[in-house]
Structures are given as C-alpha cells and as structure tokens.
Copies of this chain bind each other. A is one copy, B any other.
Amino acid sequence: MTRETMDAAAIIAHEAALGVALDAGRAVLEAGGNALDAVCAAVAELEDDPHFNAGRGAVFTYHGTNELDAAVMDGRARDAGAVCGVTHTRNPVMLARAVMEQSPHVFLSGAGAEEFAREQGAVMVDPDWFATEERWRQLQELKARKLGWFDAGLKYGTVGAVAVDAMGHVAAATSTGGLTGKRWGRIGYSTLIGAGTYADDRAAAISCTGSGEQFMRVGAAHEICARIRLGGEQAQAATEAVLAEIGAMEGVGGIIYATPAGETGFAFTTPGLFRGRADSNGLREVGIFGGT
C-alpha cells in the first residue's frame, strides 16, 4: 500500500469508511458515553466494514478460513479482555468486552471462546459472513507467488481505536483477521494485552498494527505506557521510540494513542496508516499516508 499503488476510488472509499467508524465513536462520547463504549463502537463498525482486515473482510488463513482475534482494555482499573481464533462471532471486539466484563478470565480462544459467546447471547454468523472475494483472491495470489511469510504488502492489517472521555479515562480496542495465509494457529500480537493493546489511566491508551512479531517481543503497548509513566516521556516521543526499537528488529507498524490529558496522536513506519481523529472541539480528520 503506497500513494502510488492505491487508486483514487479506493482512497475515497477507505476514507469514507474510516469516517463512519470515527463518527460512531464520537457519537458515543457526545452522548456522554465513556471511552470504553466509544472504542468498542468504532471498532465494531470497522469489523462490519469489508474494507478492513477485521470481522467481515478479514484475510484468509492458509487453510482458507477466517480466524479472528480481538482485545479491549479499560484504563480505569486496567480491566482487559481478549479472544483469538474466533470463527462465528460477528463482532469479536464485543466478545472481548464480554470476556472482560462477564467472565473471570482475560483471554479465551477458539471453540471455547465461542461457547462462551453463545452463552452470552452474542450475535453469531455463518463463517461466510466474513469472507470477501478480494481477500480470497489475495490468498490465491499469495499461494501462487509462493511468497515468504513476511511479504508485508499483502498480508497484514489490524483495526484499532483509542479514546479519552470527559472524565479523563482512556480505553483501547483492537481487532484483526491476522495475516493472509497464516498457519499453525498463529495468534496475532496486536490483540495481545501488553503487546498491541494496552490502556492505563496513569499513562495512555495504545493500539498497534504491524508487520511482524516484534511488537510482542518488545511488549510495545505496555512499553509505551511504561516509558510515559516510569520514564517521564511524552506520549508522542514514547510512541516513536518504540517504533524505532521495533525498526531495529526489522519490524514496521503503526501506533495510535490517547492520553488522560486529552492528547491524541499516531506514528507509523509503514508507507501509510489508515486513521481518523476527532475531538469535542470540532476536529475531525481522516488520513492514509504521511501528513494528513
């Protein structure tokens, strides 16, 4: 994905889809909802939209299935929930929230996670719900070209949202279909608490996307919060420092953050980062490549 290879129609369509999710989150906050409600609303929109690699429109595994991961974290008491390998739950982010709020666990997987989803009355769908022709084509292209596991151009993508509400509480949510052609029950790093998702009212809410496993090795989302809290760094500097550390391990990615003081921002080392930002002063922006 670069400015040169992405056509104008695709840019317009993706920016419109980002705007819908952004407005969903903003509407929650404007109605007095909290940060957790807002990030879940935004991510659920992105999951339902086939433009993004999460929920409907997720990439295919090597075996031709869609297996979804999601996580959510509430900065107030650092409550968290996550699921992986989900195949029938329409909105994995809402299931992650149910794990956080309705179970004694933090992290559930596969068929067991969906047994819990059914007990909770989650909206279940046929696996075909998630499948799109474009993602199927990408899997066939990957297999035909015998690409390495890390051909970043085709294979990743994660959706995430962070928010700070009027009470100064932060929350983060992340959802992904993982890598095109993933095998061996690979679990995504971006939906692991601490690696790609973290929220702490003492520091920030963080959601990450990236090409490699370096986010897990660095503990990226928790590391940014630790740098802010223990190292006294500004959120933007901490975010860029962690991306630099990931770069030294030959990883690339993008990170969004929100702090209890109301700062929001992002950084990325990929060619682009689909993103949107809004606040109560009327800011509303979406962007894909460098600058805005």
Contact = CB atoms under 8 A, between A and B. Distances in A.
A147 to B, nearest CB: 12
Given A108-B186, A186-B105, A193 B222 contact: no
Residue picked from A148, A189, A195, most chain B C-beta under 10 Å = A195
Interface string A50-92: 0000000000000000000000010001111000110000000
Interface string A153-196: 00000000000000000000000000000011111010011110
A15 interface: no
Interface stretch (A1-9, A225-233, A262-270, A282-290): A225-233
A15 to B, nearest CB: 32
A222 B183 CA distance: 27
Given A150-B104, A192-B192, A223-B226, A110 B112 contact: no
Interface residues of A, number: 46
Contact of A217 (B79, B115, B149): B79
A216 B186 contact: no
A85 B106 contact: no
Q: Is the interface of A mostly helix, strand, loop or mixed?
A: mixed
A216 B80 contact: yes
A222 B104 CA distance: 23
Interface in A92-149: 103-113, 115-116, 148-149
A104 B213 contact: yes
Contact of A184 (B80, B108, B187): B108
A113 B186 CA distance: 8
A185 B226 contact: no
B106 A217 contact: yes
B183 A112 contact: yes
B216 A106 contact: yes
Contacts of A148: 104
Nearest to A85: B109
Contacts of A85: 109-110, 185
A194 B216 contact: yes
A104 B223 contact: no
Contacts of A183: 112, 115-116
Contacts of A198: 219
A107 B226 contact: no
A218 B109 contact: no
Contacts of A116: 183-184
Contact of A193 (B104, B111, B219): B219
Interface of A: 73, 77-80, 84-85, 103-113, 115-116, 148-150, 183-187, 189, 192-195, 198, 213, 216-219, 222-223, 226-227, 230-231, 249
